[in-house]
Structure formats: structure tokens, C-alpha cells
Amino acid sequence: MGVRVVRLPIHARESVASDGTRRRDELVFCPARRRTIDASDCYECASAMAISPTAVECSPPMAGLHSEDDASTVSVGAVASGTFKCVDGELSAKAIRPLLPREPWALPVVDTAGHFRGFISRRSLGETGLPPRLSSTMRVGDLAVGHALAIDERCSLREAVEALALRHARAIAVVDSEGTVRGLLTDIEALRAWITRRRAAP
């Protein structure tokens, strides 16, 4: 039997700090470790066959592989959004308004350690019940909603789809064991991944 090589997409996480500076981290979900790692760590790994700006060609130990063709076993971290942005909760609503995506999408809000604190959107900013001038000066950490809309990256795609449906959510934050945001999964991405794996199933 030949060596199995899998293509691991490199995720780009852009973080906007409390002082407005931006940091870009390149991340990869490692199937052997079942967690997200810095893409630079792959250069030190014997399983990495080739590394490009967008993906890692990897031959992980078979014992560490979980079926990528089954929504019940593939880790949600492996199918999370390849590029996403998160903002520090200390930023003001006025400062992050230009960064907000169009409805119905929202931005994950994190604390200074990168832990998930909820989502912020144009709609949630408009539903504070406060005068716009006042709400624009508030910290987005105080305005974030959906604090429970997070799922551990080791959970299955099936569990993520069920969580989205149960909570009637359009997106869910993918976090590691410490609660740090490692990815973002929208309902559209989840359904596409689900359909792909259903078609691949025997």
C-alpha cells in the first residue's frame, strides 16, 4: 500500500488588537495531533512532504488519521474557514465598524489572550437600545452576543452542523481546548463540507 498524502489548507487568521494593529497568523489543522498548529511548525515535521503558501502536503501516521470522508468523524477544525478575522474586545464599536462584514455575517470578538467572547455584527450594534453616539464609544467586548456559539475543533462536522441548527446560527467559532479562536465555520461552509462527504460515502 502506498503512502497516503493529504492536503492540509493553511488558514489565515487576522487579529485586530486593541490599539488597531493587525497580526496575521498562518495555521494548519494537524490530523495526527487533532489540533491547530502554526504552519511554520510543519517545517520541523517529518510528515510534511511539501509546503506552499496555501497548503501543506502531509503524510501523517495512519493511526492519527480520522476519516476525511465521513461527517461523523472528520474534525470540524479540518473544515473550518480558511481565512477569517477577529477583533479585540477592547476596541470601540466606532473603530470596528469599517471592519464589519455585510449581514448576516459577524466578526468573532476575543480577549487579549485570543479567547472567544462572542460575535459582533452591524445588526447587534444597532440593537443595543442606546443612542448611536453612546453605543459607538462602547467596547465591542461589552456588545458581543452569542457567547455560547463556539465548538471545540476536535468535535466532528456532524456535531457542528447540529449545533448550528439547534441554535439557529449562521456561524460558529472553532476553538481549541483553551478557548482560543482557531477558525470560523459558517452554515454555508458546513453544508458544503457535509454534502461533499455524503457524496464521497460508499
User: Which residues are CB-contacts of 155 (< 8 A; sequence separation ≥ 6)?
Assistant: 75, 76
Q: pTM of this prediction?
A: 0.86
As a whole number, the mean pLDDT across the chain is 87
pLDDT at 184: 93
Q: Which fold has domain 15-23+67-200?
A: CBS-domain (3.10.580)
Q: What is the pLDDT of residues 61-85, one digit of tens each?
A: 764 455 555 667 788 998 887 788 9
Cα separation, 125 vs 117, in Å, equals 15
Q: Which tens digits make up the pLDDT trace of 22-72?
A: 999 999 999 888 899 999 999 999 999 999 999 999 988 764 455 555 667
DSSP, residue by residue, 51-81: E-SSEEEE---GGG---TT-TTTSBGGGTS-
Mean pLDDT of 176-193: 92
Indicate the pLDDT class of residue 123, thresholds 50, 70 and 90: confident
